[in-house]
Amino acid sequence: MPARKFRSPAGQAHQAGVQIDRVDRAILRQLQRDASISNVALAHKVNLSAPACLRRVERLREMGLIRGVVALLNPKALDAGMLVMIGVVLDRSTPDSFADFEKAAQKVSGCMECHVVTGEFDYFMLVRTKDSDSFSRLHAEQLLYLPGVRQIRTFVVLKEILSTTSFPV
Q: How far is CA 69 from CA 25, 83, 138, in A?
A: 17, 23, 29
Residue 123 has pLDDT above 70, yes or no: yes
Predicted confidence (pLDDT) at residue 69 exceeds the cutoff of 70: yes
How is the chain split into domains, by residue range?
1-71, 82-156
Residue 73 DSSP SS3:
coil
CB under 8 Å to 69, separation ≥6 — which residues?
31, 35
Kindly tell me if the per-residue pLDDT of 75 is higher than 60: yes
pLDDT band at residue 19 using 50, 70 and 90 as cut-offs = confident
Half-sphere exposure of 105 (CA within 13 A, CB side): 24
Among left, alpha and beta (phi > 0; psi -120 to 50; other), residue 110 is: left
d(CA 84, CA 118): 19
Measured CA to CA, the distance from residue 57 to residue 3 in angstroms comes to 16
pLDDT per residue over 78-122, tens digit each? Answer: 999 999 999 999 999 999 999 999 999 999 999 999 999 999 999
SS3 72: coil
Tell me which of 3.40.50.2300, 1.20.950.20, 1.10.10.10, 3.90.1150.10 is the CATH number of domain 1-71: 1.10.10.10
Alpha helices in 106-150 (DSSP H): 132-141
Beta strand spans in 18-134 (E): 82-90, 111-116, 123-129
Q: Quick check: 24 and 56 in contact, CB under 8 A?
A: yes
Please give the CATH architecture assigned to the domain spanning 82-156: 2-Layer Sandwich (3.30)
